[in-house]
Chain A
Amino acid sequence: MVFLSQLLGKKIYLEGRNFGTIEDLAVFQNRPHPPVSKIEIKTKGKKVTISPHSLSFENNKFILKNNHKDPFLPYDHSDFYLSEDLLDKQVIDTTGKRLVRVNDVALEVNGELKVAGIDIGFAGILRRLGFGNLSEKSKIVPWDEVEAFDYQTGAIKIKSVASNLNAFHPSELAEILEDVGAKERIGLVQALDSKNAARAIEETDEETQLSILETLPVKGSFKDILNKIKISELADIFSHLNTTKRKDVQNALTEEKAAEVKSLSIFSSQTAGGLMHPNFVEMEETQTVSDAMKAISDFEEGIPEIIVLVDKNKKFRGMIKAKNFLAEAPDTILSSLVNMKISVSTNIGFQDILELFSRYNLRGLTVVSSNKIPLGVILIDDVLAEIAKQKEENEIL
């Protein structure tokens, strides 16, 4: 095995005389172990590329064979260069599911020069600083577990063969989205299925959500992704968008969703109004368990944890945990099952909500208007996410 840093800057000889130095290596993209396709050489202040076959290694020296009439290949910007496009850049380690920086590139020499993996350990840094003899172990990530970005556009350029970004958990993707550069962030969002992209965006902090909505091109997957993001998440950031983006968002959403986002966006994200979801299962208290079961199975956003009960004037009467239905006869009247009669108004602060959840061991809490009409529900997940968010705010940079 040889490292890229050990090849860069090496002298190349032609007929016993110094011809130039190795500047960079281009590889064939998207192969499990991509072979080197071109070698970029700096000679007399100019950069030229040659085929790796024009170079031989004899007596510890790189020799340019002159049996080719025209050894120079055209320089192509769309090639993937190991030093220019990969070294020192951030890539995704698809096994560790995290963002890492490339300290060096490991190459296999086996007749042909092939990329084996990237060195992300401190050993790579020491080697490049000329302290390669220090006994630090290399941390190599195999090449087929790496996804690399294009330096200029940020698009995902080298796709990992073994693993798939869409198989990442949304929270893992969210962490990468928060840490990666601006162009790469968009490149990553665009590389995901719209559903996975939406889940990942929901998991990121508010600043990252805003930056993605501000910079994601409106053409393309914008509309698909946007319609899959939870309305309560969209509403939190909607009022922070600039006016042209707000229009883009409204145009991309279905009419019904756009209206919901707009009506929710007036609440501060730290209050009940800002935390609640506008979609929930609402039943009249005189209905039965079997009616409720049908409503649950018709509910579009997964299985609801709580059912909100109202009277015939649509006013809040109480809440039932969905799992309570399991042991009940289908004709049981819902009003007999109510296990939580507390609701909160939209302006209640997060600390009070947190206290209610912990005091009553709640799975969910209903948010009502001033005349007791249910507006939405806050789920335990939302509370946990908000706690995590507040913890992060202690970070200074």
Chain B
Amino acid sequence: MLPVLAILGPGIISGSVDNDAGGIATYSVAGANFGYSLLWVLFITTFALILTQEIGARMGLVTGKGLAALIREKFGIKWTTFVMFILFVANIGTIAAEFAGIAAALEIFNISRFFSIPIAAIFVFFLITKGGFKNLEKFFLILSILYLVYIPSAFLAKPDWLLGIKSLVIPHLDFSKSYFLALIATIGTTITPWGQFFIQDYVVDKKLTHADLNVERADVFTGSFLTNFISFFIIIACAATLFVTHHPITNAGDAALALKPLVGNFASLLFAIGLLNASIFGASLVPISTSYVATEAFGFESGLDFSFKEAPIFYGIFAFLLIFCAILVLLPFVPLIQILVISQAINAILLIPILVFIYLLSNDERLLGKYKNNRAVNIILIISLTLIALTSLVYFGTLFLG
């Protein structure tokens, strides 16, 4: 195996799942429909993502406990139930988006979603329960390198680099419903409730300690940076092609056109493979990790070491999420691209209460001692929280006031 795989840490995996079906769709829509004007959001969320992932990793390292366990121990069962409900809703959105991604990718080859989605759900179920996932994980991660094609594609499309860089640092606002949806989805696809639970659980599971803090920080930093580095080029590539030709995205085939400058007629094929890979990866990881978190929070038997009979709730949640989300996407009146984008916006809104808990926990001296947040981290965290909350409010405003 490639030596680089040896250093694959939770930050990189978590970051790579950020560019899942919802991510690709949201960044493509952002670039195609709004050109460069959402790049500044990506710029800010990169810092916010690094920050929140670092906090999650740090709390995991020092306490050896997952986020759900920390919430349970400090805030009790009622708040835990509330948080689990939020995580459940957010993850249903994310999983539905992964299935929508699978459907959208295969529709490029004219494969009906009524065929692709049930097969994908069954495939994922057995992939996880029969223990094949660990072998395929590296394959998924290697295949996600496919997204690097957005970089040369962006260059070949001859974008307005000056405007691109300017848009990255100068905020722009457009008070329309669709702009705010894309804005909030951009935040929600980058920083997610799921990602916060995942990074902390992963660190806990690997039994990392404060001795590993700097390595883990580097891992989180690299993972967060790389995912948004690629996101940047997805937006640029779409802005320089689809936005310029006034071609809004209504399906995955449209989004694939952004790769045309590089690979010509292979664009659809390449895009479909990339999207399919990212979607299956996400559809495998998110449901099972939801199951781990929920069963551990309430003290049910948890883990793939148990049989179906020994851990019915663990497997029950996993199966329910797959079936429910598959049906959600099969409902014929829901356009896939909308599922993909709206689910990410839901994630952003549900992230707000999760970040409040993260703020409170990461400032608890009894819990973290000298590893609690410093002032700079707190300031950025509070600013991020406020901005997400304000954006959500404005989005609701545009929804109701038009």
Q: Are B305 and A395 in contact (CB under 8 A)?
A: yes
Nearest B-chain residue to A242, judged by Cβ:
B211
Within 8 A of B (CB), among A173-199: 178, 180-185
Q: Are B72 and A394 in contact (CB under 8 A)?
A: no
Known: A101-B299, A129-B81. A392 touches B305 (CB 8 A): yes
* 9 sample A-B contacts, Cβ–Cβ < 8 Å, listed by A number: A125-B299, A128-B76, A129-B77, A178-B207, A182-B61, A184-B64, A211-B64, A215-B210, A396-B304
Nearest A-chain residue to B78, judged by Cβ:
A129
A-B contact count (CB 8 A): 91
Q: Complex: how many Å from CA A350 to CA B211? A: 30
Q: Say whether chain B's binding surface is mostly helix, strand, loop, or mixed.
A: helix
Asked if A88 lies at the interface with its beta carbon under 8 angstroms from chain B, I say yes
How many Å from the CB of A9 to the closest CB on chain B?
11
How many Å from the CB of A387 to the closest CB on chain B?
14
Known: A181-B63, A181-B65, A396-B289. A88 touches B73 (CB 8 A): yes
Within 8 A of B (CB), among A365-397: 391-397
Q: Are B292 and A89 in contact (CB under 8 A)?
A: no
Asked if B167 lies at the interface with its beta carbon under 8 angstroms from chain A, I say no
Taking beta carbons and an 8 Å cutoff, which residues of B are in contact with A? 61-65, 69, 72-73, 76-78, 80-81, 128, 131, 133-134, 198, 201-202, 205-212, 285, 288-289, 292, 298-299, 303-305, 366-367
Q: Complex: how many Å from CA A177 to CA B78? A: 28
Q: Are B299 and A100 in contact (CB under 8 A)?
A: yes
Contact among B77, B304, B367 for A125, CB-based, below 8 A: B77
Known: A88-B72, A182-B62, A182-B64. A211 touches B207 (CB 8 A): yes
Q: Are A397 and B64 in contact (CB under 8 A)?
A: no
Q: Complex: how many Å from CA A3 to CA B70? A: 23
Contact among A152, A178, A391 for B366, CB-based, below 8 A: A152
Asked if A103 lies at the interface with its beta carbon under 8 angstroms from chain B, I say yes
Q: Complex: how many Å from CA A215 to CA B369? A: 14
Q: Complex: how many Å from CA A88 to CA B212? A: 28
Q: Are A183 and B304 in contact (CB under 8 A)?
A: no
Asked if A208 lies at the interface with its beta carbon under 8 angstroms from chain B, I say yes
Residues of B within 8 A of A184 (CB): 64
Within 8 A of B (CB), among A210-245: 210-211, 214-215, 242, 245
Q: A101-B299, A122-B298, A214-B209 provided; 16 other pairs, C-beta below 8 A?
A: A88-B72, A88-B80, A151-B73, A151-B366, A181-B65, A182-B209, A183-B64, A205-B207, A207-B205, A207-B206, A242-B211, A391-B305, A395-B305, A396-B128, A396-B134, A397-B288
Q: Complex: how many Å from CA A149 to CA B133? A: 36
Interface centre among A103, A242, A394 (most CB of B within 10 A): A394
Residues of B within 8 A of A101 (CB): 72, 299
Contact among B73, B128, B208, B209 for A89, CB-based, below 8 A: B73
Residues of A within 8 A of B212 (CB): 214
| A56-100 interface bits toward B, Cβ cutoff 8 Å, 1 = contact, 0 = none | 000000000000000000000000000000011110000000001
Nearest B-chain residue to A206, judged by Cβ:
B207
Q: Complex: how many Å from CA A208 to CA B202? A: 14
How many Å from the CB of B365 to the closest CB on chain A?
9
Asked if A120 lies at the interface with its beta carbon under 8 angstroms from chain B, I say yes
How many Å from the CB of B25 to the closest CB on chain A?
25
Residues of A within 8 A of B198 (CB): 397
Residues of B within 8 A of A120 (CB): 299
Q: Complex: how many Å from CA A183 to CA B305? A: 25
Nearest B-chain residue to A153, judged by Cβ:
B366
Contact among B81, B134, B207, B208 for A393, CB-based, below 8 A: B134
Q: Complex: how many Å from CA A7 to CA B133? A: 47
Q: Are A103 and B366 in contact (CB under 8 A)?
A: no
Q: Are B299 and A181 in contact (CB under 8 A)?
A: no
Q: Are A397 and B299 in contact (CB under 8 A)?
A: no
Residues of A within 8 A of B298 (CB): 122, 125
Residues of B within 8 A of A125 (CB): 77, 298-299
Q: Complex: how many Å from CA A181 to CA B366? A: 14
Nearest A-chain residue to B305, judged by Cβ:
A395
Known: A181-B65, A215-B209. A395 touches B304 (CB 8 A): yes
Nearest A-chain residue to B80, judged by Cβ:
A88
Contact among A88, A90, A181, A392 for B76, CB-based, below 8 A: A88
Known: A87-B76, A129-B77, A396-B285. A180 touches B64 (CB 8 A): yes
Residues of B within 8 A of A205 (CB): 207
Q: Are B78 and A397 in contact (CB under 8 A)?
A: no
Known: A152-B366, A181-B65. A394 touches B76 (CB 8 A): no
Nearest B-chain residue to A101, judged by Cβ:
B299
Contact among A178, A208, A245 for B211, CB-based, below 8 A: A245
Q: Are B78 and A128 in contact (CB under 8 A)?
A: yes
Interface centre among B134, B207, B299 (most CB of A within 10 A): B207
